[in-house]
Homo-oligomer: A and B are copies of this chain.
Amino acid sequence: MRLNASERGVFPIAPTPFAADGAIDLASIDRLTDFYAQGGATGLTVLGVMGEAPKLDPAEALVVARRFIARAGKLPVIVGVSAPGFAAMAALARSAMDAGAAGVMIAPPSSLRTDDQIVAYYAQASEAIGADVPFVIQDYPLTFTVVMTPGVIRRIVTDNPSCMMLKHEDWPGLEKISALRAFEADGTMRPISILCGNGGLFLDFECERGADGAMTGYAFPDMLVDVVRLSAAGAREAAHDLFDAHLPLLRYEQQPGIGLAVRKYVMARRGLIGSDVQRRPAGALSATAVAEVEYLLGRLARHDPRAALPPR
């Protein structure tokens, strides 16, 4: 099963669950993967930044990827392979594909500046991992400081037949989705899958602009699935009502630095993973922050029963 350019729906960015002693929590990987599948995810993405990939050594990374892939069954799994050099990237990509990954995701190094540098980087990366390995462009200027115009994305897509998907998290990015879909409409770019990240902060309108879905890690991926489904079905008000109910918590979770702590906390509260342990260095939640999250969950529960959790 290989990733193709017509993927739709929600590919959650999976966290890596750890036990209290920092060991990889394999049982939680299984539980989480089952939850994604039952909740309507159409794929998943592992070993991203929010998957604490830099805190895993190469052998561990492979263990994590294999476990997710094995459990995901028919769901395609994308593996993040961004690395400071092409040798490490190629090694991880090869291992991941051998283990059954559907494709890989590649972020640009922050040293890239000009259009030509960005285009050349993806050509070299594709050559390094193998022209037959489907890949996803991660376009996240807020973190990577690399800015790709729609025209640059079009060049990458055109130059590399194995480029199947854009993880769109430019900010602002709504017009970028429209521009890329316009390229497809006027025949100057072949169609690709566009899944949106950025914590889901604009998912309501991204779907309406033509995105195929979401690839992000909000602690209620089932909500993301619902919003994408409702939007695709034309139930605009229902989509926005659900999204807006989650927005206060979603915004809280999107804070850089402590976002993953919030996410893991809520996922552990929901029982999706065994604990909210992060490997070090880890952003920690103060007692006040925990109380704020609980307060937001309580308010959310009035609109979405999935947020009604048993007391701690």
Which of A25-33, A54-62, A68-76, A161-169 forms part of the interface with chain B?
A54-62
A172 touches B (CB below 8 Å): yes
A7 touches B (CB below 8 Å): no
Residues of chain A having any CB pair with chain B under 8 Å: 53-58, 60, 83-88, 90-91, 110, 113-117, 120, 124, 141, 145-149, 151-152, 171-172, 174-175, 178, 201-202, 204-205, 208-209, 240, 243-244, 247-248, 251-252, 255-258, 279-281, 286, 288-289, 292, 299
- Minimum Cβ distance to chain B for residue A103 (Å): 20
Complex Cα distance, B311 from A125, in Å, reads: 38
Count of identical protomers in the assembly:
4
Name the one of B178, B288, B299 contacting A288, with C-beta atoms under 8 angstroms: B178
A87 x B113 contact (CB < 8 A): no
Complex Cα distance, B250 from A202, in Å, reads: 12
B87 x A124 contact (CB < 8 A): no
Name the one of B85, B86, B201, B281 contacting A53, with C-beta atoms under 8 angstroms: B85
Would you list the 4 A-B pairs with minimal beta carbon distance, nearest first? A54-B85, A172-B255, A113-B147, A57-B91
B58 x A91 contact (CB < 8 A): yes
B247 x A248 contact (CB < 8 A): yes
Interface of A is mostly: helix
By a CB distance below 8 angstroms, the chain B residues around A88 are 54, 57-58
B110 x A110 contact (CB < 8 A): yes
By a CB distance below 8 angstroms, the chain B residues around A255 are 171-172
Complex Cα distance, B288 from A172, in Å, reads: 14
B115 x A87 contact (CB < 8 A): no
By a CB distance below 8 angstroms, the chain B residues around A56 are 85, 87
By a CB distance below 8 angstroms, the chain B residues around A148 are 114
By a CB distance below 8 angstroms, the chain B residues around A205 are 252, 292
B257 x A172 contact (CB < 8 A): yes
Q: Which residue of B lies closest to A127 (CB)?
A: B280
- Minimum Cβ distance to chain B for residue A296 (Å): 9
Name the one of B149, B240, B281, B292 contacting A114, with C-beta atoms under 8 angstroms: B149
By a CB distance below 8 angstroms, the chain B residues around A258 are 172
Given contacts A251-B247, A286-B178, A288-B178, contact A256 B55 (CB under 8 A): no
Given A56-B85, A57-B88, output 10 extra A-B contacts at Cβ < 8 Å.
Answer: A54-B84, A56-B87, A58-B58, A60-B87, A116-B149, A202-B252, A204-B248, A205-B292, A247-B251, A251-B251
